Structure 1
Amino acid sequence: MFEKNTKNKASLVVSDTTPLISFLKMGTLDLLGDFFGYVYIPSGVFAELTENERFQDEAKQIRDCKFIQVCSVPKEETAKLKKNTGLDLGECEAIVLAKTLKAELLLMDERKGRAEAQKLSLKITGTLGILLQMKEEGFVSSTQLQTFVEALERHKLFISQKLLNMLFEG
Structure 2
Amino acid sequence: MIEGLRQGYEDARTLKLFLDQMNWMPEEVTATPRELQTVHLDRGECDTLALAISLGKGLVLMDETAGREVARFLGVTVRGSLGVLVE
User: Which structure has the higher relative contact order (CA within 8 Å, separation 6+)?
Assistant: 1
Aligned counterpart in structure 1 of residue 73 of structure 2, from 96, 113, 119: 119
Aligned length: 84
2:28 equivalent in structure 1: 72
Normalised to the residue count of structure 1, the TM-score between the two structures is 0.43
> Hey, which of these two has a bigger chunk of helix by percent?
1
Work out the CA distance in 2 between the residues paired with 1:75 and 1:86. 16
Residue 74 of structure 1: how far off its partner (Å): 4.2
What is the RMSD computed on CA atoms of the aligned residues? 2.2
Identity %: 29
**1:60 aligned counterpart, secondary structure:** helix
In structure 1, give the amino acid aligned to 2:27.
C
Residue ranges of structure 1 left out of the alignment (5+ in a row)? 1-44, 134-170
Relative to structure 1, the CA distance from residue 99 to residue 62 in structure 2 (aligned partners, 3 Å threshold; closer, same or farther) is: same
Computing the radius of gyration from Cα coordinates, the structure with the larger value is 1
Residue 125 of structure 1: how far off its partner (Å): 0.3
In structure 1, give the amino acid aligned to 2:2.
F
